[in-house]
Amino acid sequence: MIRHWQARLTVAAFAVASLGVVGCSSDGDSDVASSTTPPRSAPLWGLPGTAALDSASTVELQAALDEWVDAGHLVGLTAAVVTPDGGWSGAAGVDGAGTALQADSALSIMSISKTFTSAEVLLLSSRGLVDLDKPITDYIEVPFDTQGATVRQLLAMRSGFPATTAEQDQAVMAADLDREWTVSAMLTTLPADAAQLGTVGGEPRYNSINYQLLAELVAKVTGQTFAESVRADLLDPAGLQRTWVQSGETPIAPLTVGGTTPYADIIDPAGPFMPSRSFASFAVGGGSMAADAADVARWGYLLYGGQAIDSALVKEMEADPQPEPNMGPYALGVLVDDYEGVTMLGHGGGGVDWPYTGVLQVFAGDAPISIAVLTPQPADFGEDIFEVFMQLYDIVAG
């Protein structure tokens, strides 16, 4: 069963992807909720526990990380677990510069960023600022024929938009690692002969341009930067103190240096952004964010539990997942799958072509379990990530 799951999710297409006080009460009301936000539905499950997991489990969890690094599968990784009973986070090994990782080390979370973008767009739709079924061009200008693709179709990767390759993107980013990109400037790098990746409304075809455009939509309809909107609507209310929307926000140490990529050098080890300002600004909305593992796991638990956004929006986010050829069932910025009868919700980021790789998955059973695994290197999801991920799940699930 594990191997089947790995095969479905092992893709390079995931590329450009603290247990504290949550800013919402047990009935799901946010302390910073907008006055225009409609009344909230009951959450799908309660808040996470604030205690540490039992000592026997934490010893086993840390040992799993240590053994994975000692066996040479990864040079280093961080991980975290959040449950109704409490949480845990740990680290093993080193980053791309040989610096020892800590449990609170910040890493680029690559395309896990898309879960925040999707949540923000859905939240804006609940405020009447966005109609998911209107064309994206009703909100922003797009310099190619969108063929009427709607906001919902962008969220679902069903726009059919033209796509770039990792090699093309990295060559552009590497030209000036300190460049601050805009979405408009990013779009000018799209090759004139770029082919449509699919058809509008057809099967999902993973393409980060969808989410870069959605970040532009957020900025347009809110009159704020994408970073300002996500901070106010999602990060602060959820108590995510070690999550940042690069390059609009600057991460706080301890930071990490990513691993060498196969196409071009997009890492600026002396800069304030991971892996560089050029990447972070180029990938806004699709793969720009940074966080530690504990915040990522907490985010997944709160998001899919209907605490970060209304549970009715979560259900809309998860509805009608369609099989993406390389990834498995994709809905609105979330992979929806099944493991032994338990629904799994989440996203991955990075992969073999990118300097960071990570996975967030929430097992949405009677006792939900959220797990995040992050590594500062290119990695294969199946061979390098999911075995240790499932070890962590088995320890916690018993």
- pLDDT tops 70 at residue 64: yes
In this prediction, residue 37 carries a pLDDT of 56
Question: pLDDT band for position 235 (50/70/90)?
Answer: very high
pLDDT at 327: 84
**What domains, with CATH codes, occur in the chain?**
2-397 (3.40.710.10)
Beta strand 328-330 pairing with 342-349 = unpaired
Q: Which helix (H) or strand (E) holds 60?
A: helix 55-70
Confidence of residue 162 (pLDDT cuts 50, 70, 90): very high
Please give the Cα distance from 227 to 292 (Å, whole number): 17
Residue 167 has pLDDT above 50, yes or no: yes
Compute the CA torsion angle 268, 269, 274, 278 (nearest 10 deg): -10
Of 76-90, 190-204, 223-237, 328-342, the poorest mean pLDDT is in: 190-204
Per-position b or e across 49-61, b if 16+ CB within 10 A of its CB: eeeebeeebbebb
Share of the chain above pLDDT 70, in %: 90
**Mean pLDDT, residues 186-198 taken together:** 89
Burial 186-221 (b: 16+ CB within 10 A, else e): bbebbeeebebbbeeeeebbbbbbbbbbbbbbbbeb
Q: What is the pLDDT of residues 346-362, one digit of tens each?
A: 999 999 999 999 999 99
Distance CA 346, CA 359 (A): 8
Q: Tens of pLDDT along 6-61?
A: 333 433 333 333 222 233 333 333 333 344 556 789 999 999 999 999 999 999 99
Contact 289, 109 (CB under 8 A): yes
